[in-house]
């Protein structure tokens, strides 16, 4: 007989790394878990429990069975009367079918109203975001006017909302001229910045600007002597004397400048809205109609009877 080899079998292990075994919970944690488990997570009173049980019936889009929210009960009864009058069911089965059809009709109408309300709300939110973004751009451009007038005016004239802001500035100056017959120093400063000028004109400035400042000075009760001397020194070389508006025409000259600027901005506003901003805003509203949220999917399932 062959002697069997005396081999030792390896100890049986679970194959689990001891370091990966879960750490047992402490007594403190176990006590905390027991206390939390005893706390109620729902209504405690009988009335609260009753309301909780009927929550789906009260707020659900389709209700349960023939139970409808109170706001739909009257609509359901009226719909039953209409269906019975039109279908004239004979017998209990036919009457039941008519009532069920009325119930389904009321439910579908409610789903449709809910869907329309959701889409209307999404559209309002999309348009509000678009409007707020444009308003922020206008605020940014208006803030640059003090330090970078030419760049600020260029930025503002790119959107309907920016042009609308510029229009308000020009109209305010025109109204001040009409009411007081002249402009003050701060209004002249605003006027020059609206024209894209960072400071008062110097020698070599464009002819129209020098004429504008000359007209302003002609209306001043106490003209700025430094500015007046500047204009006097540059007008012969830059603007022929016969081109300067006489004092009696200074008001009309400024009013004509304001009217031309306002007319140009009105035309620009209409063009921007028709070809750019209007279609873009409408596109934001159209994109909001593509609702792929879980709520919209649930509404479609209700409408399809799934």
E strand or H helix that includes residue 193? helix 185-194
pTM of this prediction? 0.59
Q: What are the two backbone dihedrals, phi and then psi, of residue 64, each rounded to the nearest 5 degrees?
A: -135, 120
The full DSSP string for 11-75 is: PP--S--GGGSPPPPPHHHHHHHHHHHHS-SS--SHHHHHHHHTHHHHH-SS-BTTB--HHHHHH
Residue 6's φ and ψ, nearest 5 degrees, are -85, 85
Ranges of each domain in the chain: 137-288
Could you list the pLDDT tens digit for every one of the 306 residues in the chain? 444 545 454 454 445 555 556 677 788 887 777 777 776 566 677 777 666 656 555 445 444 445 567 778 888 889 999 999 998 999 999 999 998 999 888 888 888 888 888 888 888 998 999 999 999 999 999 999 988 988 999 999 999 999 999 999 999 999 998 998 887 878 888 888 888 876 555 444 455 666 666 566 656 555 444 444 544 544 444 445 455 555 567 788 888 889 999 999 999 999 999 999 999 998 888 887 765 566 655 555 555 544
> How far is it, in rounded angstroms, from Cα 190 to Cα 152?
13
237 with 209: CB under 8 angstroms?
no
């Amino acid at each position: 007989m062959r002697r069997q080899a005396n081999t030792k079998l390896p100890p049986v292990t679970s194959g689990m790394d001891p370091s990966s075994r879960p750490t047992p919970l402490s007594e403190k944690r176990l006590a905390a878990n027991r206390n939390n488990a005893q706390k109620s997570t729902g209504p405690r009173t009988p009335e609260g429990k009753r309301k909780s049980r009927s929550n789906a019936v009260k707020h659900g889009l389709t209700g349960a069975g023939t139970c409808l929210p109170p706001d739909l009960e009257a609509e359901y009864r009226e719909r039953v009367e209409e269906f019975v009058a039109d279908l004239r069911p004979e017998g209990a089965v036919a009457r039941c079918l008519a009532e069920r059809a009325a119930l389904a009709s009321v439910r579908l109408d409610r789903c449709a109203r809910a869907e329309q309300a959701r889409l209307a709300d999404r559209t309002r939110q999309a348009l509000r975001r678009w409007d707020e973004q444009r308003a922020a751009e206008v605020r940014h451009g208006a803030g640059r006017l003090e330090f970078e007038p030419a760049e600020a005016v260029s930025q503002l004239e790119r959107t309907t909302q920016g042009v609308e802001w510029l229009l308000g500035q020009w109209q305010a100056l025109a109204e001040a001229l009409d009411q007081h017959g002249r402009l003050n120093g701060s209004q002249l400063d605003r006027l020059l910045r609206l024209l894209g000028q960072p400071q008062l004109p110097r020698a070599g400035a464009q002819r129209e600007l020098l004429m504008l400042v000359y007209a302003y000075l002609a209306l001043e009760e106490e003209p700025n002597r430094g500015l007046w001397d500047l204009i006097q020194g540059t007008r012969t070389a830059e603007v022929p004397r016969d081109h300067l508006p006489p004092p009696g025409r200074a008001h009309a000259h400024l009013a004509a400048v304001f009217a031309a600027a306002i007319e140009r901005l009105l035309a620009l506003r209409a063009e921007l809205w028709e070809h750019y901003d209007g279609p873009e805003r409408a596109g934001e509203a159209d994109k909001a109609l593509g609702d792929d949220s879980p709520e919209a999917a649930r509404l479609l399932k209700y409408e399809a009877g799934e």
